[in-house]
Amino acid sequence: MDLIPKPDQVLAAAGNVAQTLLYGGLADLRPMPRTLIDEGELREVYHYRPGPVRDEASDPVLLVTPLAAPAICFDLRRDCSLVEHLVTQGRRTYLVEYGQVSFRNRSLGMEHWVDEVLPKAIQAVHEHSGGRPVHLVGWSLGGIFTLLTAADRPDLPIASLTVVGSPVDVRKVPLMAPVRPLLNLTQGRGAITRAYRALGGIPTPLVSWAFTAASAQKVVTKPLAILTHLDDADFLAQLEAVDRFMDNMIAYPGRTFGQLYHRFIKGNALARGRMELGDRTIELGDIEVPVLVFAGNTDGIAPIAAVRAVVPLLTGAEEVAFEIVPGGHLGMLTGRAARGTTWKAIDEWVTRWSGRAQPVAKKAAAKKAGTKKAAARKAPAKKAATKKAAPARKAATPKASPESIGVNPKRRYSSAGSRALNQR
Beta bridge partners of 20: none
pLDDT attached to residue 199: 43
At 26 the three-state DSSP class reads: coil
DSSP per residue, 246-304:
HTT--PEEHHHHHHIIIIIIIT-GGGGTEEEETTEEEEGGG--S-EEEEEETT-SSS-H
Q: Percentage of the chain surpassing pLDDT 70?
A: 68
User: Using 50, 70 and 90 to split pLDDT, how confident is the model at 291?
Assistant: very high
Asked whether 245 and 330 are in contact (CB, 8 A), the reply is yes
pLDDT at 414 > cutoff 70: no
What's the whole-model pTM score?
Answer: 0.77
pLDDT attached to residue 2: 65
C-alpha distances in Å from residue 83, one per residue of 25, 61, 76, 78, 91? 22, 10, 9, 9, 10
Beta bridge partners of 274: 283
Q: How do beta strands 291-296 and 93-97 pair?
A: unpaired
Average pLDDT, the chain: 78
**Spacing of C-alpha 291 from chain mean position:** 12
pLDDT attached to residue 305: 94
pLDDT attached to residue 60: 97
pLDDT attached to residue 266: 73
- Residue 327, C-beta contacts closer than 8 angstroms, at least 6 positions apart: 296, 297, 298, 299, 333, 335, 337, 338, 342
pLDDT, tens digit, 9 for 90 and up, residues 312-340: 999 999 999 999 999 999 999 999 999 99
pLDDT, tens digit, 9 for 90 and up, residues 378-410: 443 433 333 333 333 333 444 444 444 454 545
Rounded Cα distance between 264 and 317, Å, is 23
User: Using 50, 70 and 90 to split pLDDT, how confident is the model at 124?
Assistant: very high
pLDDT attached to residue 64: 97
Helix ranges, 58-130 (H): 82-88, 110-111, 118-128
Question: Average pLDDT in the 40-54 region?
Answer: 90
User: Using 50, 70 and 90 to split pLDDT, how confident is the model at 116?
Assistant: very high
Rounded Cα distance between 405 and 408, Å, is 7
Beta bridge partners of 263: none
pLDDT, tens digit, 9 for 90 and up, residues 63-93: 999 987 889 999 999 999 999 999 999 999 9
Q: Where are the domains of the chain?
A: 31-182+277-421
pLDDT attached to residue 123: 98
Rounded Cα distance between 44 and 26, Å, is 30
Exposed/middle/buried for residue 323 (C-beta within 10 Å: 0-12, 13-18, 19+)? buried
pLDDT attached to residue 204: 52
pLDDT attached to residue 125: 98
Helix ranges, 73-215 (H): 82-88, 110-111, 118-128, 141-152, 180-183, 191-199, 204-214
User: 31-182+277-421 architecture in CATH?
Assistant: 3-Layer(aba) Sandwich (3.40)
pLDDT, tens digit, 9 for 90 and up, residues 236-282: 999 999 999 888 877 656 566 667 766 777 778 899 999 888 889 99
Rounded Cα distance between 287 and 290, Å, is 8
* Cβ count within 10 A of residue 305: 15
Question: What Rg do the C-alpha atoms of the chain give, in angstroms?
Answer: 22
Rounded Cα distance between 268 and 246, Å, is 27
pLDDT, tens digit, 9 for 90 and up, residues 174-219: 765 544 554 454 554 555 555 444 444 444 555 454 555 555 555 5
* Range with lowest mean pLDDT among 106-120, 158-172, 262-276: 262-276
Beta bridge partners of 273: none
At 236 the three-state DSSP class reads: helix
C-alpha distances in Å from residue 286, one per residue of 238, 314, 365? 39, 8, 13
pLDDT attached to residue 391: 36
User: Using 50, 70 and 90 to split pLDDT, how confident is the model at 57?
Assistant: confident
